[in-house]
Chains A and B, each alone.
With several copies, the nearest count.
Chain A
Amino acid sequence: MTGALGRLRRLTPALVLVLVGLAVWQWYVTASAVRPQVLPSPLRVLTEGWAFRAQIWANALPTLQVTAVGFAVSLAVGWAIAVAVDFSPWLRRALTPLLVASQTLPIIAIAPLLIIWFGFGLAPKVVVIALVTFFPIAVGLIEGFGRTDRQATNLLRSMGASRWAQFRYVRLPGAMPSFFTALRIGITYAVTGAIFAEYVGASAGLGIFMNLQKNSFRTDLVLAAVLVTALISVSLYGLTFLVQRLVAPWSRRG
């Protein structure tokens, strides 16, 4: 099952399911004569999406860029918080409720503030993406660090390891499985976060494109953009497995 062929065969089940789903959808749309504004057929989504490929592509690029920058910031913030919290029980108790609270801010409510504070360059979008995605990463890391075996920590202490060395040699690698779980959750939200961020204020991007097409009652093009979003997200998700294989090969089961 190695090589490109093996990998392709592993994808068969997903493809089968998708194709069955699409067939049912196509059949339903044809049979029920539902209006394309309400539910366009998959074929129509594909052909119209293809016809508008230049425009979709032009809007996908800024979204990808914003996603990359935002998720990088999110990773940095998530790690910084998790490490800080791991080192200081005081900070842990101080920050945990605030982290949770940060997730409850309806972005719609704070969007005007973001615009006023950060303008509508990259900054407010990066803030939104970071806000949406840093939380699973921070929580995953914090709990990963916390799950370290006491006896393992003791072994390190017996070697005279400083708090930092204990962290580096045991807590950090021990948290990798948790981290990658969290990374997968976080990265999945990143692209949606970017699209949401574009509602806050942007001149281009898949979010802007969707909004415009929605207001033009072009549900087919909205769904085409959704499709592109999904493809990007699934690719990024797949990428995490690759990264995990490179960074922490021992953390995957055989």
Chain B
Amino acid sequence: AAPGGGSAAASPSTVRIALDWTPNTNHTGLYVAQQEGWFAEAGLDVQILPYNQTSPDTLVSSGAAEFGVSFQNSFTFSKAAGADITSVMAVLQHWGSAIAVRADRADITSPADLDGKVYGGFGDPGEEPKMRAVIRNAGGRGEFSTVSLGTSAYEALYAGEVDFTEPFVAWEGIEAELRGEPLRTFAYADYGFPDAYGVVLIGNSPWLAAHPEQAAAFVRAAQRGYQLAADDPARAAQLLEEANPGAFSEPELVERSQAMLSERYLRDASGRVGTQTLEQWSGYSGFLVDAGVLTGPDGAPVTTRPDFSTWFTTQYLAQP
């Protein structure tokens, strides 16, 4: 099918990319590639679309953008619901977020202590099953109450209105340290919960099929950008700030965040950037299927695991 709804790009070399959030260190590779001229070298005219309220999954699926920045989590929901998108590259190899409580909460030393506590959530359909599973894996009952707060969740956590929430470790976590109110975090994987790609680059499937060369050129340039971010976080942070003048009023936050991503998130076990595996896709996305929270295009619950290998591709990445 032709990309529905949105206006198609002016020419095959014009590539639009939709962001999930205001520019931040998760996007560094894209801005590096742009600043260094690597997109242009590849013959691409890349437009980074202004951040907006529309989910990148929807934008990409409808053809309003060719690529987007998404998460394995939201990707699973949109894909199950029939979005025509493919994950072309993993940006963060692991969960970018973690369970967090205030460091001064002596009463909470393990997720098992979260029973009966209040969770400050984001209205994400996957978050409750995930929390429940982690708490149970840690030996708890998995019983807690949820208040949907959105980004107010962090303030609510510091103010003691909620007991735990789910921040990005390399952004809100660092900010908490900077302001002298550190958080105690519990990584999901430490409690036997399946790992997931915190951030992925996604593409419009029909467009990818129709434009294999441009697709490969784009992904390689982006991969090269993230590679630089992994190798030289200071320079990458600088390029990010230069690309977004005025967007960052806390340079230290950007630098430390970039350093942390480079150290812990951008590379897979073999040291490569951008790779994806069927194992990791089936792990978390499979968990969501089993949890019964996904619905298909017809509105009916998804009960059988789809073929996850069709959800992502590594074919556009540079060969090692």
* Contacts from A to B (Cβ < 8 Å): 32-39, 44, 48, 51-52, 55, 58, 108, 111-113, 115-117, 119-120, 198-203, 208-209, 211-218, 220-221
Chain A CB within 8 A of B13 CB: no
Q: Which 3 A-B pairs have the closest CB atoms?
A: A201-B52, A211-B123, A112-B155
The distance in angstroms between the C-alpha atoms of A201 and B62, with both chains bound, is 16
Additional 8 contacts, C-beta under 8 A, given A116-B156, A212-B148, A216-B293: A32-B4, A37-B78, A112-B151, A203-B146, A215-B77, A216-B125, A217-B78, A218-B250
The distance in angstroms between the C-alpha atoms of A117 and B54, with both chains bound, is 12
Distance from B199 Cβ to chain A, minimum over Cβ atoms (Å)? 15
Interchain CB contact under 8 A, B50 and A201: yes
Distance from A227 Cβ to chain B, minimum over Cβ atoms (Å)? 16
The distance in angstroms between the C-alpha atoms of A212 and B54, with both chains bound, is 14
Q: Which of B197-222 contact A (CB under 8 A)?
A: none
Chain A CB within 8 A of B246 CB: yes
Interchain CB contact under 8 A, B5 and A38: yes
Partner of B83, one of A33, A37, A209, A220: A37
Q: Which residues of A contact B155 (CB under 8 A)?
A: 37-38, 112-113, 115-116
A-B contact pairs, 9 of them (CB 8 A): A33-B1, A37-B58, A108-B53, A119-B161, A215-B77, A215-B124, A216-B125, A218-B249, A221-B249
The distance in angstroms between the C-alpha atoms of A58 and B22, with both chains bound, is 18
Which of B4, B53, B179 has most chain A Cβ within 10 Å?
Answer: B53
Q: Which residues of B contact A38 (CB under 8 A)?
A: 4-5, 58, 61-62, 155, 158-159
Which of B52, B181, B295 has most chain A Cβ within 10 Å?
Answer: B52
Interchain CB contact under 8 A, B53 and A202: no
The distance in angstroms between the C-alpha atoms of A52 and B245, with both chains bound, is 12
Q: Which residues of B contact A34 (CB under 8 A)?
A: 4-5
Interchain CB contact under 8 A, A208 and B50: yes
The distance in angstroms between the C-alpha atoms of A69 and B152, with both chains bound, is 23
Distance from A206 Cβ to chain B, minimum over Cβ atoms (Å)? 12
Q: Which residues of B contact A51 (CB under 8 A)?
A: 299
In chain A, what residue has the closest Cβ to B154?
A112
Q: Which residues of B contact A52 (CB under 8 A)?
A: 246, 249
Chain A CB within 8 A of B297 CB: yes
Q: Which residues of A contact B150 (CB under 8 A)?
A: 111, 199-201
Partner of B4, one of A35, A119, A211, A221: A35
Distance from A117 Cβ to chain B, minimum over Cβ atoms (Å)? 7
Distance from B69 Cβ to chain A, minimum over Cβ atoms (Å)? 14
The distance in angstroms between the C-alpha atoms of A111 and B52, with both chains bound, is 9
Where chain B touches its partner, the secondary structure class is loop
In chain A, what residue has the closest Cβ to B159?
A116
Interchain CB contact under 8 A, B84 and A35: yes
Interchain CB contact under 8 A, A217 and B6: no
Distance from A226 Cβ to chain B, minimum over Cβ atoms (Å)? 15
Interchain CB contact under 8 A, B147 and A202: yes
Interchain CB contact under 8 A, B81 and A212: no
Distance from B29 Cβ to chain A, minimum over Cβ atoms (Å)? 19
Given contacts A34-B4, A120-B156, A208-B123, contact A217 B54 (CB under 8 A): no
Interchain CB contact under 8 A, B123 and A217: no
Which of A111, A198, A209 has most chain B Cβ within 10 Å?
Answer: A111
Q: Which residues of A contact B297 (CB under 8 A)?
A: 35-36
Q: Which residues of B contact A37 (CB under 8 A)?
A: 58, 61-62, 78, 81-83, 155, 179
Interchain CB contact under 8 A, A202 and B148: yes
Given contacts A200-B52, A217-B57, contact A120 B149 (CB under 8 A): yes
Chain A CB within 8 A of B14 CB: no
Interchain CB contact under 8 A, B82 and A119: no
Chain A CB within 8 A of B253 CB: yes
Which of A32, A202, A216 has most chain B Cβ within 10 Å?
Answer: A216
The distance in angstroms between the C-alpha atoms of A212 and B149, with both chains bound, is 12
Q: Which residues of B contact A209 (CB under 8 A)?
A: 246
Partner of A217, one of B22, B50, B58: B58
Distance from B238 Cβ to chain A, minimum over Cβ atoms (Å)? 16
The distance in angstroms between the C-alpha atoms of A38 and B161, with both chains bound, is 14
Distance from A221 Cβ to chain B, minimum over Cβ atoms (Å)? 6
Interchain CB contact under 8 A, B58 and A116: yes
Partner of A199, one of B53, B57, B61, B78: B53
Interchain CB contact under 8 A, A202 and B50: yes
Interchain CB contact under 8 A, B152 and A215: no
